[in-house]
Structure 1
């Protein structure tokens, strides 16, 4: 391997590390977002489910 090959290989290694770091940060951001907003998504879904069940049971009778 000549010097250009070694430099190219080092640049690819650095690029892979950067991509992995970006992926890790993105995943962490997604986890934090889910933890922060999950309660706001959960309770409206529960309410919608209850209302839907009530409407459905009312139309069955």
Structure 2
């Protein structure tokens, strides 16, 4: 469930319709996401950390 939550947040950040609200979505993303979310997303068999940024990957390593 952590992996899916992370993937959904990453989708929200990339959503073009939400770009006028990107700053606020990004703030909430930073409040909600933890190292555990990034790790779960990175090792999830479907997500495999594909949408994680290099800075998110560095947190996991």
TM-score band w.r.t. shorter chain? under 0.3
RCO higher in 1 or 2 (8 Å CA, sep ≥ 6)? 2
Structure 2 length-normalised TM:
0.26
